């Protein structure tokens, strides 16, 4: 046999052996002959010994992928609470509100109703046993509190009237109904009282044209220029009148005696030698005096400087330093408002109903605790579900420092539910408590809430 064919057969034999070895793990565990053998008779029940199940040996084949992919967290939606709150502003000369607290359940519910009062206001009338409480070190009421026992399928009406330091201004006082612990809100509502009898704001008429600063400056500059032109013309005419005209040659180019001799007669006519014409003296061009030019230049310079300063002042006054940037990386426009006022940004509409700090704001807060609980309503105004993050929700203190939302404390306040892990469904509204852990004794002056990293967000002033 040729060596080449012998080598080819040896190589084919080796390849076939490797294929058989690779196929052995894929063979079934039981042999066909064993499966076809008749079963042996079963021993008596007393002699049956427990059989140990053999652990299948892994074959090394890759595991099949799961039929169902890992589930995505469902969007959070606010279910209908057993206690709902409705609120309207009264049509009275002083700020007043009517609050309707309804229990739609089949059982009696105990609830705590709190109405936040804006800064500078004080409760003058409170019905249904409500009590106005003041923050430490303040003479004005911070909130009005009711402890109610709501019968099944009942509606309780509450009324309040407020006194404010500045009459004629709009007053917003939101109200929330909480459970007995005062942390988890059932429902919240807000209303803004506007003075109907307040006189309408007078529209200041625009000043006439001749009273506007730019027009006055332009008229002054024109008057100065005209005055300078008239004075220059007058000075030149004056110099021309006072000057002496020099003697010059006659029209024939000879002097007077020569002409007289020529006219005496032919007998006395002599040789006339022409003389060169006398050059006329050059006149110096008159210039305005220095005492006239200096005041005119100073007046023109003062007018230009005044116009520039006035224009720059108007432009600087039109700049609003409180606004956030609305171009570049930011999406939407930043909005600033008060507690109880709905504020909308690119994806969410935020409403801060209440901000409470210190001891008693949380059940787990000690007497010297510095945690602040904010009751926030979040409405998704887009057509898609939206997620938000706790690190983007901030509380600012007077020094300019800020802290993000305490996600662990917020999860405890929401009964162990991570509100930032679930997206907010499209068009839905949720009512959530947010917890901020502050350092020191400063109270938060402003809350900043955002739906995303590039959102301009909203800012809420805390009284």
The CB density around residue 241, as the number of other CB atoms within 10 Å, is: 7
Question: How many structural domains does the chain have?
Answer: 2
Residue 330 has pLDDT above 70, yes or no: no
From 193, 224, 256, give the residue that closes a domain: 193
Burial of 446 (C-beta count, 10 Å sphere; 0-12/13-18/19+) = middle
* Mean pLDDT of the region 119-132: 87
120 phi-psi bin (left φ>0, alpha ψ -120 to 50, beta other) = left
pLDDT at site 24 = 59
- Extended beta strands in 234-360, E state: 335-338, 343-344, 348-357
Report the share of the chain in percent with pLDDT over 90. Answer: 27
Backbone angles phi, psi at 240, to 5 degrees: -70, -35
From 161, 177, 193, give the residue that closes a domain: 193
User: Which of the listed ranges 28-37, 229-238, 256-265 does the model predict with the highest average pLDDT?
Assistant: 229-238
Burial of 90 (C-beta count, 10 Å sphere; 0-12/13-18/19+) = middle
pLDDT at site 51 = 42
pLDDT at site 280 = 62
Q: Is 168 inside a domain boundary?
A: yes
Its domain, for residue 100, covers: 83-193
Q: What is the CATH number of the domain that holds 106?
A: 2.60.40.290
Residues 6+ apart with CB under 8 A from 245: none
Q: Is 116 inside a domain boundary?
A: yes
Comparing CA positions, the residue from 161, 126, 162 lying closest to residue 147 is 126
Contact 426, 412 (CB under 8 A): no
Owner of token pair 């006149």: 283
Q: What is the CATH number of the domain that holds 454?
A: 2.60.40.1240
* Mean pLDDT of the region 257-265: 46
Rg for the chain, CA atoms, rounded = 49
Banded pLDDT at 182 (limits 50, 70, 90): confident
pLDDT at site 87 = 93
Q: Is 384 inside a domain boundary?
A: yes
Owner of token pair 């099949």: 64
Residue 269 has pLDDT above 70, yes or no: no
Q: Is 353 inside a domain boundary?
A: yes
Within 13 Å and on the Cβ side, how many CA atoms surround 200?
Answer: 3
Residue 68 has pLDDT above 80, yes or no: no
Give dist(CA 92, CA 204) in Å, integer: 29
Banded pLDDT at 158 (limits 50, 70, 90): very high
Q: Is 215 inside a domain boundary?
A: no
More confident residue, 356 or 2: 356
Q: What is the DSSP string of 294-322?
A: HHHHHHHHHHHHHHHHHHHHHHHHT--TT
Q: Is 198 inside a domain boundary?
A: no
Q: What is the DSSP letter of 340?
A: T
Per the prediction, the chain carries an average pLDDT of 74
pTM summary value = 0.57
Q: How far is CA 148 from the centre of its chain?
A: 39
* Mean pLDDT of the region 273-301: 65
Residues 6+ apart with CB under 8 A from 193: 89, 90, 95, 96, 97, 170, 171, 172, 173
Q: Is 318 inside a domain boundary?
A: no
From 171, 193, 215, give the residue that closes a domain: 193
State in Å, rounded, how far the first CA of the chain is from the last one. Answer: 105
pLDDT at site 375 = 94
Q: Is 342 inside a domain boundary?
A: yes
Query: What strands, in cross-sheet order, belong to the sheet with 96-103?
Result: 83-89, 96-103, 154-164, 121-126
pLDDT at site 394 = 92
């Amino acid at each position: 046999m040729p060596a080449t064919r012998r080598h080819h057969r040896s190589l084919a034999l080796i390849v076939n052996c490797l294929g058989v070895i690779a196929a052995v793990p894929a063979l079934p565990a039981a042999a066909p002959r064993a499966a076809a053998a008749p079963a042996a008779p079963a021993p008596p029940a007393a002699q049956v010994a427990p059989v140990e199940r053999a652990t299948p040996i892994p074959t090394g084949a890759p595991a099949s992928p799961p039929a169902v992919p890992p589930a995505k967290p469902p969007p959070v939606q606010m279910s209908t609470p057993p206690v709902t709150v409705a609120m309207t502003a009264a049509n009275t000369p002083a700020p007043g509100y009517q609050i309707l607290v309804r229990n739609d359940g089949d059982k009696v519910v105990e609830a705590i109703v709190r109405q936040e009062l804006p800064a500078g206001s004080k409760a003058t009338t409170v019905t249904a046993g409500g009590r106005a409480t003041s923050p430490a070190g303040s003479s004005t009421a911070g909130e009005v509190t009711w402890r109610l026992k709501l019968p099944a399928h009942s509606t309780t009406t509450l009324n309040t009237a407020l006194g404010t330091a500045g009459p004629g201004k709009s007053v917003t006082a939101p109200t929330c109904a909480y459970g007995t612990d005062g942390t988890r809100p059932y429902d919240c509502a807000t209303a803004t009282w506007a003075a109907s009898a307040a006189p309408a704001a007078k529209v200041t008429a625009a000043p006439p044209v001749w009273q506007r600063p730019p027009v006055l400056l332009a008229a002054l500059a024109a008057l100065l220029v005209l005055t300078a032109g008239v004075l220059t013309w007058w000075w030149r005419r004056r110099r021309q009148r006072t000057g002496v005209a020099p003697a010059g040659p006659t029209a024939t180019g000879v002097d007077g005696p020569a002409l007289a001799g020529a006219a005496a007669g032919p007998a006395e006519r002599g040789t006339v030698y022409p003389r060169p014409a006398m050059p006329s003296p050059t006149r110096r061009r008159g210039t305005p005096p220095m005492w006239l030019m200096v005041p005119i230049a100073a007046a023109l310079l003062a007018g230009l400087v005044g116009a520039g300063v006035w224009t720059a002042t108007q432009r600087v006054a039109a700049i609003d330093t409180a606004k956030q940037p609305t171009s570049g990386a930011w999406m939407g426009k930043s909005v600033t408002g008060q507690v109880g006022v709905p504020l909308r940004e690119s994806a969410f509409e935020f409403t801060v109903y209440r901000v409470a700090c210190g001891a008693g704001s949380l059940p787990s807060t000690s007497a010297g605790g510095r945690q602040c609980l904010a009751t926030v309503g979040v409405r998704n105004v887009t057509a898609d579900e939206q997620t938000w993050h706790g690190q983007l929700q901030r509380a600012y203190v007077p020094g300019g420092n800020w802290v993000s939302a305490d996600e662990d404390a917020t999860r405890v306040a929401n009964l162990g539910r991570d509100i930032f892990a679930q997206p907010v469904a499209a068009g839905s509204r949720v009512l959530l408590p947010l917890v901020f852990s502050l350092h020191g004794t400063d109270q938060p002056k402003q809350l900043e809430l955002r739906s995303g990293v590039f959102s301009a967000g909203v800012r809420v002033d805390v009284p």
